[in-house]
Chain A
Amino acid sequence: MILHVLPLLVFTTFAGFAAGAYAVDAVCGNGREAKTPWLFPLVCVVLLGIGLCGTLAHLGQPLRFMNGMANPASGISQESYWAIALGIVIVVDLVISWHGGRALRQVGGEDGCGCRACPGVYQRGHCPLRVLRDGCRRVRNSGFVFALPPPKTRWAARMPFAGFCFAVVNSRNSRLARTRAITYSSCHNLIP
């Protein structure tokens, strides 16, 4: 049974790693400058790639994987959209970081919570990304989202793991599995 769901586990784990690490680094990174800024997006894109390979391994007909994005109402299709969008962001970030530009890392994390603290900074008339970034920092500094100790500490370094756990627990498949476990007996589909 575990072998049957292993590819899905690979996808959920590694894609969750990439998404969680990326989002939490965007929120908690506090603009720290790394010596090799391209390394983080490179690791994330590798993790996401491994996860997507797990998805293909899960499919009985992997060559038809494009069909899997036909129904926007389906959870699997939605996961595909988000995984592709995340992959594009990471690749763009990787390219920009490689050429020494400013990373896009904060975009992904800021669009989620930055707007919650934006009304005040809108008056400053900055560009939207800067507004989002400032808003995100306000949220973070107020401790509203993560109630974190200061960045650049051991806690901050471990937050990608927390983000990974959050992503795994809230992934669509995981929620569906929990719903099934609550609603039906787990042996429901094991009857030959």
Chain B
Amino acid sequence: MHAKHFGQLIVGKRHDGDVLYQAMGTFPRTRLAFRLMLCNHCEDPVCVKHCPTHAMHKDAETGLVLVDQDRCIACGYCTWTCPYGAPSMDDVHHIMSKCTFCKDRISEGQTPFCAEACPANARVFGDLNDPESEPSKLLQQKKGVQYLPEMGTNPSVYYV
């Protein structure tokens, strides 16, 4: 079965570093850049490789990186290994949690909440394997870059 490769395109400059907000530009044209904390749903996710329980897995049908919370032992190894800091511990239920690209919504043909709610339409969501999808067209028009590509995980989120 050919796995879909859902990806998201972020319109705007990517900024490096590990801080959530970062000042960019030169005075007087300065602005505050915002780094997204969403999961990059990598092609070769390091969290899946290092999860001791196989709870963190890559869905064969959609290509999404998901966590099976019934198997997870909440060791936190995925947060150590993920270069993007995507998995986060649910301190109430003591279980690992992460961005799922709102898989229930996309299975119904809708877009994730973050893309739906963005007032500037700065987030574009779609199937990167489909050349007619909106993110594929944007990637053809503009040069998209991945965040931390040197980590070798081939993330599915691009910044243009």
Contact = CB atoms under 8 A, between A and B. Distances in A.
B74 A67 contact: no
Interface stretch (B1-9, B48-56, B119-127, B136-144): B48-56
A185 B73 contact: no
A6 interface: no
A77 interface: yes
Contacts of B81: 176
Interface residues of B, number: 28
A68 B18 contact: no
Contacts, number: 82
B53 A68 contact: yes
Interface residues of A, number: 28
A62 B83 CA distance: 26
B37 interface: yes
A129 B74 CA distance: 41
Nearest to A4: B76
Nearest to B91: A60
Given A60-B74, A189-B85, A74 B17 contact: no
A54 B20 CA distance: 33
Given A61-B95, A73-B50, A185 B17 contact: yes
A60 B95 contact: yes
B105 interface: no
Nearest to A80: B52
B89 interface: yes
A62 B95 CA distance: 11
* Dominant secondary structure of chain B at its interface with chain A: loop
A15 to B, nearest CB: 15
A59 to B, nearest CB: 5
A75 B52 CA distance: 8
Contacts of B32: none
Contact of B77 (A74, A183, A185): A74
Interface string A179-192: 01001110111010
A65 B17 CA distance: 35
B73 A75 contact: no
A80 B19 CA distance: 35
B75 A59 contact: yes
B31 interface: no
A60 B89 contact: yes
Interface centre among A70, A187, A188, A189 (most CB of B within 10 A): A189
A60 B73 contact: yes
B94 to A, nearest CB: 3
A68 B73 CA distance: 7
A69 interface: yes
10 closest residue pairs by CB, A with B:
A60-B74, A60-B94, A74-B52, A67-B53, A185-B18, A76-B52, A188-B18, A77-B52, A68-B52, A189-B85
Interface of A: 58-62, 64-65, 67-71, 73-77, 80, 176-177, 180, 183-185, 187-189, 191
25 contacts: A60-B73, A60-B89, A60-B94, A60-B96, A61-B94, A64-B53, A70-B52, A70-B53, A71-B51, A71-B52, A71-B54, A73-B50, A74-B51, A74-B77, A75-B50, A75-B77, A76-B77, A176-B81, A180-B80, A183-B83, A184-B18, A184-B83, A188-B18, A189-B85, A191-B18
